[in-house]
Homo-oligomer: A and B are copies of this chain.
Amino acid sequence: MEISNLDAAIAATRALGHPARMRTAAMLRSGELCLCQITEVLSLAPSTVSLHIKELKRAGLVNERKDGRWVYFSLADDEHARRWIEPAMAAVEGDPQLADDLSRIAELRRLALVDLCSLGYEAAKAKLEQQG
């Protein structure tokens, strides 16, 4: 089953053509993330975010790395992926929504995944501050 250049290009543009997925791609530029981190920033149900990421993977823009219970997603780095991700990221450079997302991600990275995923952001943050 061959995938033509046209089909691959359509898949990539469609994948980026949704705010949740464009924002996800932008977040992943800062490094790999697991589902619950992305879910927290997007404020969507985990099942919904999982489907969005599936679409990004299907388009060849995102890779996954499984580590026990967690799955870490990262931007693909081959020619096809770079061809689409670079102009997209250049185009959204400086967008306030994405800047917010990135600073949110920076906060989230300071929290233990096991707390963030199961307790949610507020509780995980409280726990971190309590423990020093």
Q: Is the CB of A94 within 8 A of B5?
A: yes
Number of copies: 2
With both beta carbons as reference points, the residue of chain B lying nearest to A96 in the complex is identified as B4
> Number of A residues whose C-beta is below 8 Å from B?
30
Majority DSSP secondary structure for residues of A touching B? helix
State in angstroms the CA–CA spacing of A17 and B6 once bound together: 10
A interface residues, Cβ below 8 angstroms from B:
4-6, 8-10, 12-14, 16-19, 22-23, 80, 83-84, 86-88, 90-98
Given contacts A6-B97, A10-B19, A14-B14, 9 further A-B contacts (CB under 8 A): A5-B91, A5-B93, A6-B22, A6-B23, A8-B91, A9-B22, A9-B91, A17-B17, A83-B87
